[in-house]
Structure 1
C-alpha cells in the first residue's frame, strides 16, 4: 500500500532534516491566518505595514494583566506550576513584546491570575496561589511581591492574610484607600503599604445575568479590573468560565460613581464574547482595558485558537471606543483579520521587542525568560548548572512524570525542536511534549536503550529500539498536533522512533489550565548534559531545512 503524504514527508525529514507541510484539508474548521515570521520563523503579530494580526503574544499567555508606566507597558500572566514564574514582559506599542525576567522564584504552589499595580512610586504584583486541593474546595492564599522597578529585583513573596480568593484587581477609592477586587464579586481592603489585608472581605457585585440558554462552562465572575475615568469607576470582569465550550468565556462591564457601588451593568453586555464554534478564537475573556500610546483605548485578553487548544490561552489585542453615554464598545470583531496597530509609540526600544529566540547553546542561565521547571521542589535552582559544557541537569524521580521537567512555551502550530544530550551515570534523559505529570509523550534515553512515552505511560509497542553509547541527538516535529520523534547518533542518519497524535493534550481533557510544551528531563541517578537546543517554526507549505544539530 502506498504511504500517506504525511508519512512520506516525515520519513523525508528523518533523512534530510526538513519538513514540507501538506495542504490543509477542505473539511477542516477554518482557522485564523498566521502573522509574518519572526525570529526562528516564529509567528509575529506585527505585519510591518502598520497593522498586526492576533495573537500579539502566541502560546500560553493566560489571564493577561497590563500596566502602563510612562512610555512602557508591562504584562504578567498566570504561570501555574512553572518556576521561576510570574515572568514580566515589556512593550512600547502593545504589539511587540520581550521578556524582562521572572518576579517569583520561590515555589509556593500553582500561580493563578496576577495583577500589577504601581502606587506611590512602587511596583506590586499580587499573586493568588493554589496551595493544595481538597474535597472541601480550592484553598488559595494571596501573596504580593514588590520592587522599586519592574526590572526588579523583586522581594520575597509576602503572605497578605487573604485566603480563599483568586484574580486580584488593585484599585484606589475616591478616598485614597487601597483595595483588591477578587473573584465572584468580592473586595478586600488592604493596608496603605499594599502588603496585607486590612479588614473583612465583602461581596460588592453580583455579576451580569447570563441568559439560561447560552452554552457556557459556569457563571464564574472573575478577573476583575478597575478603571477610573470621567467620574466613574468601571469594573471589567470575565464570566462564563475560562475553558469548556468555545462560547463560554466573555467580558462584561459595570460602573459606579463610587468604589463602594452600587454597580450598574452595561446595557450591551457582554462587550466581548465568542458566539460561534466557527470563529478563529474561542473562550475570549479576562480583559484588561489599557490606554494606547496615542491616547486611544485597547483590550488585552486571552483566548484559545480554533483547533489548537494545545497552545493554551494566547494574548489577544483589540481596540475599543467610548460611546456617547459613557460605555466601552469593542471594535475588533472576531479578530480574524489584521487591525491597525496602536499609534504614537516611541520607536526606540521597539526593535528589540519582536520576540525572543528559543534556540540556545545553554551556556548561560535562561531560567524564567525561556525555560521553567514544572512543579519543582525547594532548592530546584541547584539542579541546573549552565556553563561552557551546556546545561547539566541533575536527575530527579524515576522517570519523566516525577522528574520536574524543564519546559518552554511554543506558540507555533507546527515546529521542530532538536537537542543534543549526553547521559552521565545510571539515569535517563530525554525530550518530551509535556502537558503535566500525567499527560505527556516523548522519548527518553539511558545506557544502551530508549524508552517511549504516550499519554504519560511508557510504551512497549512499537519498540523504540536500542542505541549505542551515551551521546545522541533527539528531535520532535509537531506538525499541527501530530508529533514525531527522531534519534541520531554521531553523523548517522535520522531514525524515526514513533509518532503520536496530541490534539487531546489540553485543559479540556486534563484540567490544569496550561499548554503542551517542549521539555527536557533528567531522572534517576546521575545527570544529563544538554547542548545546542534548536527551535524552528514550520510554516504550512514551506520546507524548512534544519541545521546539522
Structure 2
C-alpha cells in the first residue's frame, strides 16, 4: 500500500529562524481568529490577574506528557533509570501540582546506576472508549510499552506495544473514538479500540527532511489535524525546536508551517533554551496554551523543566506563542483560577508513614524486602541499612534514597543516629547524579574514631575532602546549604540550633557548556555533563554501560581534544544514604526526617576542619 508522504514545502533555514524572535511571524502577524472565541493575552490576563513564573514544574520534568480529563490535569515525565519510574502528577489549575503515583515500581530493562538509558520520551493519554489512563513509554532499544489503569494514580498494568518502533510516542484520540500513536520514525499507527495494540500504519512523514523527529503529538482544531514535533537535537547548542505540520486528514498529506520552527532558542542569550516536546491544551473554550520542556542555561542541575504559555491562532489557521517570541516565556497568565489546597509537590518527609513518599526513588530497582531500608522496623524513622561499597558502588544503590532537586537556593537537613565504628562505614546526606558523579556529608570513622566526613566522586574517582572529629555522639544534625549558584556548604550540630561549618564548598554546576564564570563543576551533577576520559569507567571496573555516551556529538574540551557527553539525561538529586565500604556486616542508620527549606542560611557558624 502506498502511504501518504509529507508534501515537499520550503523550510526556513535555522539562521532565518533565529532572526524571527520578536514576532510570531514576520510574514503572518498573529491575530485573534474571528471564527473562534479565543481571548487575547490581555483579556486572559484581566480574567486571571495572577501572572505565574515559568517553569510550572521546576526541576527535571523532561518530555512532559500532559492531559486534561474533565476538570483535572495529569502529567508524567521520562524517568530514565530512576525507579519507581514514570512519576505522575495531578493539578486542577495547571500551576499547582501534587504527586499521585508511578506507572511502575521496577523494570527489568533498567540497569543499576544508569541514567542514560531506561525510559526515553513518553506520552500520557485518556482512552474515551475504556475510560482508562494510558502511558506510552519506550525503552532505549525502541520497544514501546503501554501502561494502562482506570485510576490515574495506578496501579498500572503493562503491555508491550511492539519492538523497534522508535521513541517519543505521541497519543491521539479522534472525535470518532479511533486511537493513534505517532513515533520518532515519523510513522502514525492506528491503535485498537483499547489502545493496547497496533492495527496498522496510516501515515508516514518524510524523515529525511529532518535531523530528528522528536516528541510528535497530534491535536485537532476546526477540522485540521496539527502535528507538533521537535527537530534538530536535544543536547545544548543543538537547534532544539517546536515545529508544526497540519493536514485535513490524519492520513495526510501534511503541509509544513512556513514559519517553522514556531519555537526556538539556542545560543541567543535567552535564560531558557531548547523548547521541545510541546503539548497543546484548551483549559477553557477558545483559550489555548502550550506546555513543553526547556532548560535554564545557568542551572543544568535542574534539568529540563516544564513550561507553559498561551498561544494565539492566526487568521490562516496556524498557532504561535502569544508572546510574539519564539523563546520560552518567563511568565504567563494563569489559565484557570488557582486550586492550591493539597496541591504541593512533596519534598520534606518526617517519615511518619509506613511507606516512602512519592517524591523518593532509587537509581536501581527498589528493595522492598526490608533488608536495605525500612519505615516499620523503627516507626517514625527511616532506617537505612549500610550497603556494600560507597556512593560509587552499584552494590550500594538500594541504600541511596533520592529525590529531584527543584530549587536554586535551598538547604536540606536531617538528624541521623548512626554508630560508625568499622572501616569506612558512613551515613548521612548526599547529592547524586550517578555512581560516577556525587558528593556526601556524613558520620563515619577514622581509624576507629568517630568523625564527620565530606567527600565526592568525580568522573568515577573518589576524593575524601574534609573531616573532623565528631563532637556530638551517635546522633547528629547534618545540613547542606546550596547558595543559588550550585555551590554547597556543609554544617553540623548537636542540637539543631547551633551550627558549625565543616570544610569549604563544592561547586556542582555545568562542566561542558554555559560555565559559570569559567568554572567547571566537580562533580558535574547537571543533566548534560562531560567526561574528560571516557576510558575511566573501564579502568574502575564498572560496567560498560556506565561509560561515556557513544555519541557523534562532541564538545570542545579543555584538553584541546573533543570530549564526549557523559552524564545524561537526568538532573541532580539529593537524599539520604548509608554505606559500609569495607565493613563486613550491615548496620542501621536511623533518619528522623529529611527537611527542605527554601533558604540556605543557617546563621552564624564556626568552621571546623582538619
TM-score (norm 1): 0.79
- The correspondence for 1:318, drawn from 309, 314, 319, is 309
Whole-Å separation in 1 of the counterparts to 2:137 and 2:66: 17
State the match for 2:50 in structure 1.
50
Whole-Å separation in 2 of the counterparts to 1:256 and 1:535: 49
Is the 1:93–1:293 contact (alpha carbons within 8 Å) kept by the matching residues of 2?
Answer: no
- The correspondence for 2:591, drawn from 513, 530, 548, is 530
State the match for 2:8 in structure 1.
none
> Does 1:359 pair with 2:323?
no
How many residue pairs end up in the alignment? 474
> Does 1:495 pair with 2:501?
yes
State the match for 2:73 in structure 1.
73
State the match for 1:515 in structure 2.
571
> Does 1:140 pair with 2:142?
yes
> Does 1:287 pair with 2:293?
no
Is the 1:312–1:514 contact (alpha carbons within 8 Å) kept by the matching residues of 2?
Answer: yes
Deviations 1:73-118 (A, max 9, x none): 1111111111222121112221222222222212342122221111
The unaligned stretches of length 5 or more in structure 1 are 1-47, 131-137, 211-218
State the match for 1:342 in structure 2.
335
Whole-Å separation in 1 of the counterparts to 2:593 and 2:290: 38
- 1:519 is displaced (CA, Å) by 2.1
325-334 or 68-77: which moved more?
Answer: 325-334
**Superposition map of 1:19-418 within 5 A:** 49-108=49-108, 109=110, 110-119=118-127, 120-130=129-139, 138-152=140-154, 154-172=155-173, 176-199=177-200, 204-206=204-206, 209=209, 219-245=211-237, 248-332=239-323, 333=325, 334-335=327-328, 337-343=330-336, 345=337, 349-353=339-343, 355-365=344-354, 367=356, 369-376=358-365, 379=368, 383-387=372-376, 388-401=379-392, 402=394, 403-404=396-397, 405-418=400-413
167-176 or 140-149: which moved more?
Answer: 167-176
Is the 1:160–1:195 contact (alpha carbons within 8 Å) kept by the matching residues of 2?
Answer: yes
- 1:227 is displaced (CA, Å) by 0.7
Inter-CA distance 115–458: structure 2 relative to 1 (3 Å threshold):
same
Whole-Å separation in 1 of the counterparts to 2:265 and 2:409: 25
State the match for 2:114 in structure 1.
none
Deviations 1:355-389 (A, max 9, x none): 33422212215646211112235657763322434
- 1:225 is displaced (CA, Å) by 0.8
Deviations 1:217-275 (A, max 9, x none): xx221111111222221111112212221x62110110112222221111111111115
Is the 2:106–2:365 contact (alpha carbons within 8 Å) kept by the matching residues of 1?
Answer: no
Whole-Å separation in 2 of the counterparts to 1:498 and 1:269: 49
Whole-Å separation in 2 of the counterparts to 1:357 and 1:76: 15
The unaligned stretches of length 5 or more in structure 2 are 1-47, 111-117, 511-523, 530-565, 581-585, 605-610
Inter-CA distance 155–424: structure 2 relative to 1 (3 Å threshold):
farther
Query: Secondary structure in 2 aligned to 1:83?
Result: coil
229-238 or 190-199: which moved more?
Answer: 190-199
Whole-Å separation in 2 of the counterparts to 1:365 and 1:77: 26
Query: Secondary structure in 1 aligned to 2:467?
Result: coil
Is the 2:202–2:251 contact (alpha carbons within 8 Å) kept by the matching residues of 1?
Answer: no
Query: Secondary structure in 2 aligned to 1:400?
Result: coil
Is the 1:392–1:529 contact (alpha carbons within 8 Å) kept by the matching residues of 2?
Answer: yes
Is the 2:224–2:247 contact (alpha carbons within 8 Å) kept by the matching residues of 1?
Answer: yes
Deviations 1:437-464 (A, max 9, x none): 211112243342435124253323x442
Whole-Å separation in 1 of the counterparts to 2:94 and 2:499: 44
**Superposition map of 1:422-441 within 5 A:** 422-423=417-418, 427-441=425-439
State the match for 1:471 in structure 2.
475
- 1:127 is displaced (CA, Å) by 3.9
Is the 1:431–1:519 contact (alpha carbons within 8 Å) kept by the matching residues of 2?
Answer: yes
Whole-Å separation in 2 of the counterparts to 1:172 and 1:55: 28
- Structure with the greater alpha carbon radius of gyration: 2
Query: Secondary structure in 2 aligned to 1:170?
Result: strand
Whole-Å separation in 2 of the counterparts to 1:397 and 1:188: 47
Is the 1:238–1:249 contact (alpha carbons within 8 Å) kept by the matching residues of 2?
Answer: yes
Query: Secondary structure in 2 aligned to 1:220?
Result: coil
- 1:292 is displaced (CA, Å) by 1.6
Query: Secondary structure in 1 aligned to 2:375?
Result: strand
- 1:533 is displaced (CA, Å) by 1.2
TM-score (norm 2): 0.72
Whole-Å separation in 1 of the counterparts to 2:371 and 2:311: 47
